[in-house]
Amino acid sequence: MQNAQKFEQLLWSLAGQLPSLVALAGCIVFVATRWKRYPKVSLLTLIGLLVIFVADFFFGVIFVWAPDLLINGGSGLSGGANVTTVFMVLGLISNTVFAIAFIFLLAAIFTQRRHPAPDSRSPN
């Protein structure tokens, strides 16, 4: 019964993320259509978007099941872990993964930029 409740909790969590997941999927399709024109930018963008997409699913599962396993001592920890510590560590890990994804997206923004032509009116 406990696993059924956890699975239902996971489905509700993913349902709450559905708009973001649909938007990410749309962005991934858009990036794929631009691949031939901008391959380097598309690769960096695709990596960032895929990391976010996969992390949403992965951390959805982790945040549903891992706290009970760690807090109740299911992982072999003596006496279980502190609730605050478990959520702090999980939050730190998930935020680090998302920061890495945003690094790829930011790199894509500034890749293959053309330098503006010098203004002929400005004195050198």
Mean pLDDT of the chain: 83
pLDDT at 117 over 80: no
Q: Is the pLDDT of residue 71 over 80?
A: no
Residue 33 Ramachandran class (φ > 0 left, ψ -120 to 50 alpha, else beta): alpha
Long-range contacts of 88-97 (CB under 8 A, 24+ apart): 90/59, 90/62, 90/63, 90/66, 94/55, 94/59, 94/62, 94/63, 97/51, 97/55, 97/59
pLDDT tens digits for 24-44? 999 999 999 999 999 999 999
Q: What sign results for the dihedral spanned by CA atoms 28, 29, 30, 35? A: positive
Domain boundaries defined on the chain: 14-109
Considering only residues 114 and 102, tell me which one the structure prediction assigns the higher pLDDT. 102
On the question of pLDDT at 121 being above 90, the answer is no
Q: Which residue has the higher pLDDT, 12 or 82?
A: 12
Res 92: pLDDT: 95
**Residue % of the chain over a pLDDT of 70:** 81
